[in-house]
Each structure stands twice: as C-alpha cells, then as structure tokens.
C-alpha cells in the first residue's frame, strides 16, 4: 500500500506528526498531499499544536538538573548536560521505571491532543 491509497484523514494524522521541513518534502510527492500539507501548515499558524511527548530521559533531566545545580551552583550548562547524561546511563532500570511510566502517560496525552487536533482540522477539509 502506498500513500495514494490512504484516506485523507490518515494522511492528515501523518502530516500533523511531521515537522514543517518534512511536510514540505512530503508535499512535493503528490498534489493531493500538497493540498493537505499546506492546509496543515496554515492551520498550525492559527491553532496551537500539541506539544510533543517528553521522553523518560527529559523528565529525569527536569528533576535531576535542579539537584545538580544545588550541589554545584557554578557548573556550566555543558557540564550539567554531561553529568545528566552520565547519571542517566548509570541509573539502574528500576530507578528509570518511574520516568518511563511518566513518559508513557505523556505519550498518551499527546496522542489524545493530536486526535482532537485532527478532528478539529477535519471539519475544515
């Protein structure tokens, strides 16, 4: 199955998940895609898109960054990032699990918001 056979609603869902740069490339493949992609790009200007889901690592960074900065207030941003990466790599799976659960919840939130966005957008196609 290729993109020609997909219903417009599914193409719209695909387009919503793409970045604008990828949308432009995708739009070049077919005039039908071009119309849908240009509508998505224009619609994004008028309606705030859902924020992408955060990964378990990013959720961990939000928590641990403050701890690192409390311990080492003069640490530079690059050093903090390196330390966060090291701590995440050395963190046992059992301690990563809560962040992964939060990330899954954020992914569900994002999926729900995208579905609402697509439904709203589908009214105007």
- Quick: pLDDT tens for 51-71: 889 999 999 999 999 999 999
Domains of the chain, start order: 3-49 (no CATH), 56-116 (1.10.30.10)
Containing 27, the helix (H) or strand (E) segment is helix 20-27
Nearest to 112 by CA among 120, 124, 101, 123: 120
**DSSP three-state, residue 72:** coil
Mean pLDDT of 25-34: 62
* DSSP state, residue 3: G
- Quick: pLDDT tens for 66-93: 999 999 999 999 999 999 999 999 999 9
pLDDT at 103: 96
Percent of the chain exceeding pLDDT 70 equals: 58
């Amino acid at each position: 199955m290729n993109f020609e056979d997909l219903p417009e609603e599914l193409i719209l869902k695909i387009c919503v998940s793409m970045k604008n740069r990828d949308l432009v490339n995708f739009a070049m493949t077919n005039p039908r895609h071009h119309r849908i992609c240009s509508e998505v790009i224009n619609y994004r200007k008028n309606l705030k898109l859902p924020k992408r889901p955060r990964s378990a690592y990013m959720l961990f960074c939000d928590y641990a960054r403050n701890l690192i900065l409390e311990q080492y207030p003069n640490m530079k941003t690059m050093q903090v990032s390196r330390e966060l990466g090291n701590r995440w790599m050395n963190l046992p799976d059992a301690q990563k699990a809560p962040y992964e659960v939060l990330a899954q919840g954020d992914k569900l939130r994002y999926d729900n918001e995208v579905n609402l966005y697509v439904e709203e957008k589908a009214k105007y196609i």
